[in-house]
Structure 1
Amino acid sequence: MADFPGIIRSPLSQTITHDGITVQVEIYRLEGTEGWTLELVDAEGGSTVWQDSFATDAEAFAEFMDGVRQLGLAKLIDPDEDDIATVH
């Protein structure tokens, strides 16, 4: 994610590879707001954004890691309807 004025990027944002799949984990918030957004960007540039915001960047990252443990990275970047209701 390029740096844009007014967007605060978490130091927890990073590239992660799991089960042969690589994603960019982006955790950010708008300046002057309190909720952190969790977004995954896959190798093709596809984006998965969680609908709910998180109180802290650490909570957002923990949600990502829980999703990887529960569903696997492939399901997080290409969820079916049941997965969306469960994780996002």
Structure 2
Amino acid sequence: MIEEDPEIEESPLSGIVTRDGISVRVEIYRLVEGDRSWTLEVIDPEGGSTVWDDRFATDQDAYDEFYRTLEVEGIRSFLEEQPGSTKH
């Protein structure tokens, strides 16, 4: 039996964010069926991914968490293998 990939709903809040000449892709998504919470993932220019362990009740909550992290830790915190970076 062939299993189908689950259908994913992407938030309209997903997109590219650029700071200090560095662009990252913010992905906020959830499964269409099943768990209705939102997942937050940030993809760096090299394809490295930071995914939050926590789930969010709304896509806005997920975006707000991304923005708080951006403001406090800076965009470099999302880069793969950067000295002093913090992964979530």
TM range (shorter): 0.7 to 0.9
The 1:82/1:16 distance shift into structure 2, 3 A limit, reads closer
Once structures 1 and 2 are overlaid, which stretch shifts more, 9-18 or 68-77?
68-77
Indicate if the aligned counterparts of 1:40 and 1:77 stay in contact, CA closer than 8 A: no
Ranges in structure 2 where 5+ consecutive residues have no aligned partner: none
Q: Which residue of 2 aligns with 1:19?
A: 20
| Rounded Cα–Cα distance in structure 1 between residues aligned with 2:25 and 2:54 | 19
Q: Which residue of 2 aligns with 1:74?
A: 76
**What CA RMSD, in Å, does the superposition of the two structures yield over aligned residues?**
2.1
Please report the TM-score for the alignment, with normalisation by the length of structure 2. 0.81
Kindly tell me the number of residue pairs found equivalent between the two proteins.
82
| Cα distance, 1:82 vs structure 2 | 8.5
The 1:42/1:82 distance shift into structure 2, 3 A limit, reads closer
Please identify runs of 4+ aligned residues in structure 1 that moved more than 6 A: 79-82
Deviations along 1:14-34, whole A, 9 cap, x unmatched? 101011110000000011221
Higher helix proportion, which one? 1
Ranges in structure 1 where 5+ consecutive residues have no aligned partner: none
Q: Which residue of 1 aligns with 2:41?
A: 39
SS of alignment partner, residue 69 of structure 2? helix
| Rounded Cα–Cα distance in structure 2 between residues aligned with 1:80 and 1:59 | 28
What is the percent sequence identity of the aligned residues? 48
The 1:24/1:68 distance shift into structure 2, 3 A limit, reads same
Please report the TM-score for the alignment, with normalisation by the length of structure 1. 0.81
